[in-house]
């Protein structure tokens, strides 16, 4: 029986940085290294998600969505995770409203959802529309 070889990557494949924004309940963007064509423009955003199950989700989601993207989307070599948070309100799951508002804003701007989102968002009066649009458009190419 032959001996199995062991290899280790020279560069880190996933780096997690500690941040004050890293809370149990937050929203995150997954961004590709290149912009993708949508019906009304281009954007690097391929997924908008939330951490309903806990703070480990962005890392796990990044790995899952990245492996999907690397196989299906031509030219994707790197996926970045950006965390978006908002202030809290008593008896209100603000992070879920933020995710929904961001999905709605993305769909309104590009006429379709990000590549790996299935859930449609809804309009929210909790956040300024201009702030949501600015956040979405900063990752436009």
Structure-block tokens of residue 53: 């199950």
Task: Tally Cβ neighbours within 10 Å of residue 106.
Answer: 25
How would you classify residue 64: left for phi > 0, otherwise alpha for psi between -120 and 50, otherwise beta? alpha
110 falls in which pLDDT band (50, 70, 90)? very high
Mean pLDDT of 38-60: 81
pLDDT at residue 58, as a whole number: 67
The model's pTM: 0.84
pLDDT of 57 over the 70 cut: no
Mean pLDDT of the chain: 84
All structural domains of the chain with their residue ranges? 27-137
What is the edge-to-edge ordering of all strands in the sheet holding 41-50?
41-50, 27-38, 79-84
pLDDT at residue 55, as a whole number: 58
């Amino acid at each position: 029986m032959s001996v199995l070889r062991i290899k280790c990557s020279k560069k880190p494949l996933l780096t997690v940085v500690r941040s004050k924004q890293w809370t149990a309940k937050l929203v995150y963007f997954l961004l590709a290294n290149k912009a993708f064509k949508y019906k009304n423009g281009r954007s690097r955003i391929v997924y908008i998600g939330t951490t309903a199950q806990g703070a480990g989700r962005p890392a796990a989601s990044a790995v899952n969505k990245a492996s999907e993207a690397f196989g299906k989307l031509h030219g994707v070599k790197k996926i970045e995770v950006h965390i978006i948070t908002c202030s809290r309100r008593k008896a209100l799951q603000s992070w879920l409203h933020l995710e929904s508002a961001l999905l709605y804003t993305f769909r309104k701007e590009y006429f379709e959802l990000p590549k790996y989102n299935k859930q449609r968002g809804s309009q929210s009066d909790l956040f300024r529309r201009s702030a949501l649009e600015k956040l979405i458009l900063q990752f436009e190419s």
